[in-house]
Amino acid sequence: MTAARIEDLLRELAPQALGALVRHHGHFDTCEDAVQEALLAAAQQWPVDGVPDNPRSWLIRVASNKYTDQVRSELARRRREEAVGQEPAIEEGGSTDDSLVLLFLCCHPTLSPPSQVALTLRAVGGLTTDEIARAFLVPEATMGKRITRAKQTVKAAGAQFSMPPPDQRAVRLAAVLQVLYLVFNEGYTATSGAQSIRVELSAEAIRLTRLLYRLLPDDGEVAGLLALMLLTDARRRARTTAAGELVPLDEQDRALWDQTAIAEGTALVTAAMSRAPLGPYQLQAAIAAVHDEAARAADTDWRQILALYDLLLKLGDNPMVKLNRAVALARILGPRAGLKELDRLDDDQRLKGNHRLDTARAHLLELAGDRAAAVEHYRTAARRTLSLPERQYLLTQANRLTS
Q: Quick check: 197 and 244 in contact, CB under 8 A?
A: no
H-helix segments, 189-273: 199-215, 220-233, 259-273
Q: What is the reported pLDDT for 106?
A: 86
**Sequence letter at residue 189:** T
Which contiguous run of DSSP H or E holds residue 192?
A: strand 192-193
Q: What is the reported pLDDT for 258?
A: 97
Q: What is the reported pLDDT for 197?
A: 62
Q: What is the reported pLDDT for 168?
A: 81
Angle at which helices 335-343 and 319-333 cross, to 10°? 160
Pairing of strands 386-387, 192-193: parallel
Is the sign of the CA dihedral 229, 233, 239, 240 positive or negative? Answer: positive
45-50 own/partner pairs: CB under 8 Å, 24+ apart: 46/1, 46/6, 47/3, 47/6, 50/1
Query: Over the stretch 247-274, which tens digit does the pLDDT of each residue have?
Result: 999 999 999 999 999 999 999 999 999 9
Cα–Cα distance between 196 and 245 in angstroms, integer?
8
What are φ and ψ of residue 240, in 5° steps?
Answer: -135, 155
Q: Quick check: 324 and 341 in contact, CB under 8 A?
A: no
Cα–Cα distance between 269 and 280 in angstroms, integer?
12
Q: What is the mean pLDDT of each run of 10 residues along the chain (403 residues)?
A: 82 86 81 87 88 90 87 57 48 56 85 86 80 76 90 84 80 87 79 60 87 90 97 94 88 96 97 89 97 96 97 94 96 97 92 92 96 97 89 94 88
Q: What is the reported pLDDT for 183?
A: 83
Q: Identify the CA nearest to 312 among candidates 346, 281, 334, 335.
A: 281
Query: Over the stretch 100-114, which tens digit does the pLDDT of each residue have?
Result: 788 888 888 888 888
- C-alpha pair distances (Å), 348 with each of 67, 263, 380: 51, 37, 18
Q: What is the reported pLDDT for 206?
A: 92
Give the SS3 label for residue 296. Answer: coil
Distance of CA 209 to the CA centre of its chain: 8
Q: What is the reported pLDDT for 74?
A: 63
What are φ and ψ of residue 242, in 5° steps?
Answer: -60, -25
CA angle (394, 400, 403) in 5-degree steps: 140
Cα–Cα distance between 96 and 107 in angstroms, integer?
21
DSSP notation for 301-369: -HHHHHHHHHHHHHH---HHHHHHHHHHHHHHH-HHHHHHHHHTTTT-GGGTT-HHHHHHHHHHHHHTT
Q: What is the reported pLDDT for 80?
A: 44
Residues whose CB falls within 8 Å of the CB of residue 356, separated by 6 or more in sequence, listed in order: 320, 323, 381
- Residues facing residue 240 across a β-bridge: 246
Cα–Cα distance between 280 and 260 in angstroms, integer?
24
What are φ and ψ of residue 152, in 5° steps?
Answer: -65, -35
Cα–Cα distance between 250 and 363 in angstroms, integer?
12
**Sequence letter at residue 303:** R
Residues counted in the chain: 403
Neighbours of 227 (CB within 10 A): 30
Say whether the peptide bond before residue 277 is cis (omega within 30 degrees of 0).
yes
Q: What is the reported pLDDT for 372?
A: 96
Cα–Cα distance between 39 and 63 in angstroms, integer?
8
